[in-house]
Each structure stands twice: as C-alpha cells, then as structure tokens.
Amino acid sequence: MPSPVATQRIFTRIAVTPIAGAGTPPFLDMRAYNVFGVAASGTPTELKIVASTVAAGTSPVTVKDYGTSFTLPAGSVYTIECLAEELAQLSAEAGLGDTPLRYVSAVVTGSTAASLIRSEPKAMYDSLT
C-alpha cells in the first residue's frame, strides 16, 4: 500500500479555469504561478495568450499567438503556453516598471471547449516543515 507521505499532490500544482462558448475569458492573476497555458479542442480559428497590467484586462498585449495553422486531426487539443519570465521580459521591454503584465487570459474563437491553466505555484513548498 502506498504511503501517504509519498503523495505528490499533483492537483495542488495546477489551477484550471474552464471557458465555454462566446464571451471573453477572465483575466487571471499570475502573481503566484510560473506557467500559464491554454488548451482548446475542436477547430479553433484563433488561439492566443494576452496579458494586461490590470485585472479588468484593459489594453491587453498579445504575449503569444498560435497563428492560423490549425491542421491537426479532429479530436486534437491545441495548446499554447508562456512563462512568468516572459511576462516580466515583455514588461521590462515596454518600460512598465511598477505595473508589470500580471493578469493573463486567452483569445479563443471557433473552439468547442477550452481551459485556462496556471501551474507551478511559486510558493508550493512554503508550509513544509
């Protein structure tokens, strides 16, 4: 029988926010995470990661764009991801100073289902003794 001490707590390392249908997905705070990704199924016509300096998502900046080549077979899942370090670099290049790109979201059109995924929490091991 496996020991509870050996538990990896895999699901404490990710935060998944499903998005469905039309509308704007929420902007999520990346302060506590190192990786952000989007997974979309169906046949998307647009898939990109955007970021903003404010939670409302005003004036979003495109961080990564999948492009227009959606040629995988039916039933495939398209993914795109970015690191918190990439957000920091874009913030520095734009001279944002004390208000860096911190809130991320996605633009997903034409997809049957999609999820926003944050992973690798920065303080994952803070409460260990």
Polymer length of the chain: 129
Inside any domain, residue 103: yes
- pLDDT, residue 88, reads 92
Structure tokens at 31: 């302060």
Percent with pLDDT over 70 in the chain: 84
Inside any domain, residue 86: yes
Under the banding of pLDDT at 50, 70 and 90, the label for residue 129 is very low
User: What is the residue range of 49's domain?
Assistant: 33-121
Inside any domain, residue 90: yes
**Chain-wide mean pLDDT for the chain?**
84
Inside any domain, residue 99: yes
